[in-house]
Structure 1
Amino acid sequence: MTGSTSTRTTGGPPALVAVAHGSRDPRALSTVTALLDRVRALRPGLPVHLGHIELNAPLLSDTLAALGDGPAVLVPLLIGNGHHVKHDIPGTAAASPARARVAAPLGPHPLLVDALHARLLEAGWPSRPPRDAAVVLACAGSRDPDSRTDTTRTASLLAARLGVPVLPAYASAASPTVPEAVRTLTARGHRRVAVAACFTAPGRFATQTAAAAPWIASAPLGTHPAMARLLLHRYDEAVIPITGGASTRRETTTP
């Protein structure tokens, strides 16, 4: 994993810089590190680095400084558009010497739904859910209306996949909260309400929202293979303006 040591490269594809929020939970850093190892296995030869918005090293500013004036694509490990994606990350990129472009956040996207569905199945979600089943999609939350739009779209995609109602809820900054969403679904006659963790890694929000689940709660998305593919997809979307359309795809078949 790269820190603030020299990471300058000459030639080759633009670096992929995964941008994590940062967490005081030590499991978050180890999870993101393992996820980026999956990305490297899928795309050998692609420079992959990590930068945090806060709380953990390396900070994004340090990672970009180490890249010098080389090209980079910053892929937010965040679920939707919000202040971090619109302001914090572009601001840090603009202040760095790197020729950086910010990719779209992870959601909404079918690959994100693949990971959410898989984590629910691992938690005990039945392949044929009963009619009284429903899901609360637990997200971090943001005051930005675009973030709510992205979360609502992800919830709709997951509902179409599962065939049950999915209600988005938030750990902070927005409503409804997860307990409020659980009560809403229960009042509508859904006796089996699961909580799907729409978080990249373990942390305080994932822990507190799981505790509100009256039935089953899924684990954070973490190192699921679909997440690694999604990071590369967002990278590929953003890298074309930098490379002038040249493809950098050379995935292996690593699961």
Structure 2
Amino acid sequence: MTEPAPEQPQQPPPPTDNTAHLPARVTGPLGVQLSLVSRNGTRRPMHRTRHPDRPAADNGASAPALVAVAHGSRDPQALRTVLALLDRVRDLRPGLDVRLGHIELNAPLLPDTLDGLRGAEAVLVPLLLGRGHHVKHDLPTATAAAPGVRTRIAAPLGPHPLLVEALYGRLVEAGWDAADHGGRRAAVVLAGAGSRDPDSAQDTRRTARLLAERLGVPVVPAYASANTPTVPAALRALAARGRHRAFVASYFTAPGRFASACADAVPHRAAAPLGAHPAMARLVLHRYDQARAAVAPADVVSLLASA
């Protein structure tokens, strides 16, 4: 990214009323501060940004910031869940500057978070589970609009074996027992948000295959929107095949409207969203490290080429 122009000497402000610009001056800094808030409401320390021409004092100081990019939700539990996940990430990598930015609906929005990193380097890690519109278009657009930050965009979280580990863990919490549910009547519906992008659907199907290998039972992808089948339709299809003991695996990073709608299909056998499962924190750091290690981020290059 291009470096920001040197600051010009400040001129005395003209004697005009600047109150019209007050909202912009308030919401930008507020968003930056919120990106550093932990789940218990305390503020994480602001890491100092190393000047690009100065040598790093240690490895922690020279590492790019990790900007976790969440979708955003009107469900207040969603933000709490994402903050808990980022706390786990910080615990695994002490000293790493970990920040949060949302695509929509919640503060801090991604542009505000990037604005707080002017002159620094950052790796954007989407807390998204496949190659959909947000990863292919929204994130590159946001980074292009923030020329003062040198950025890389990591691959989305899925598909990956660590994601399957988190899905399995949530199913066990919901009552899945391999000894009881590994027979001919058992199955799992992998319930996701849905996308019109064929790459996103392909990623969900691949995760379903990986989870089926782990569980030893059929796993059928289903969606809350955009794609078919719906979760109820998938459950009916499995029942028609004699698979009456079906669980729903929540293929969502955090709670929200779509996650709740999918769980309502079989509330007594629906797993919780992936949330702050320990495997999710490891996966976030894995994607961060992958993006840092790539001379040219191959994951992103392939995403943009297929867009």
| Both structures adopt the same fold (TM-score exceeding 0.5) | yes
Range that drifts further, 111-120 or 215-224: 215-224
Q: Displacement of 1:215 after TM fit?
A: 5.3
Ranges in structure 1 where 5+ consecutive residues have no aligned partner:
245-255
What does residue range 156-235 of structure 1 map to in structure 2 within 5 Å?
156-213=209-266, 216-235=269-288
SS of residue paired to 2:237: helix
Q: Which residue of 2 aligns with 1:137?
A: 190
Counterparts of 1:107 and 1:143, CA distance in 2: 17
Q: Which has the larger radius of gyration?
A: 2
- Aligned match of 2:32: 4
User: Which residue of 107, 128, 148 maps to 2:201?
Assistant: 148
- Contact residue 100 and residue 108 of structure 2 kept, 8 A: yes
CA distances 1:161-208 after superposition (whole Å, capped 9, x unpaired): 000000001111111111111111111110111100011111111111
SS of 1:182's equivalent in the other structure is helix
Q: TM-score, normalised by structure 2?
A: 0.76
CA contact (8 A) 1:93 1:100 kept: yes
1:67 maps to 117
4+ runs of 1 displaced by more than 4 Å? Answer: 5-8
Say if 1:200 and 1:221, in contact at 8 Å, map to a contact too.
yes
Query: What is the number of equivalent residue pairs in this alignment?
Result: 243
Distance 1:87 1:182 in 2: 33
- Structure-1-length-normalised TM-score: 0.92
Helix, strand or coil for the counterpart of 1:50?
A: strand
Aligned-pair distance for 1:3?
Answer: 3.6
Q: 1:213: how far off? A: 1.9
The residue aligned with 1:86 is 136
**RMSD value over aligned CA atoms?**
1.7
CA contact (8 A) 2:184 2:242 kept: no
**Structure 2 gap segments, 5+ residues each:** 1-29, 34-45, 51-55, 57-61, 298-307
2:166 is matched with: 115
% identical aligned pairs: 67
Measured against aligned partners, the alpha-carbon deviations of 1:22-47 in whole angstroms (never above 9, x if no partner) come to: 00000000110010000000001111
Q: In the aligned structure 1, how far is the partner of 2:172 from the partner of 2:271?
A: 8
- 1:35-50 counterparts in 2 under 5 A? 35-50=85-100
Q: Supply the distance in 2 between the matched residues of 1:26 and 1:39 (Cα, whole angstroms).
A: 21
Higher RCO by CA contacts (8 Å cutoff, separation 6 or greater): 1
What CA distance in whole angstroms lies between the structure 2 residues aligned with 1:203 and 1:180?
21
Q: Deviations over 1:187-242 (max 9, x none)?
A: 11101111000111111111110001275000011110000000000000001246
Could you report, residue by residue, the CA deviation over 1:98-149 in whole angstroms, capped at 9, with x for unpaired residues?
1111100010000000000000000000122232100000011100000011
Partner of 2:24 in structure 1? Answer: none
Q: Distance in 1 between matches of 2:77 and 2:197?
A: 28
The answer to whether residue 135 in structure 2 is matched with residue 101 in structure 1 is no
Cα distance in 1 for partners of 2:230, 2:32 equals 38
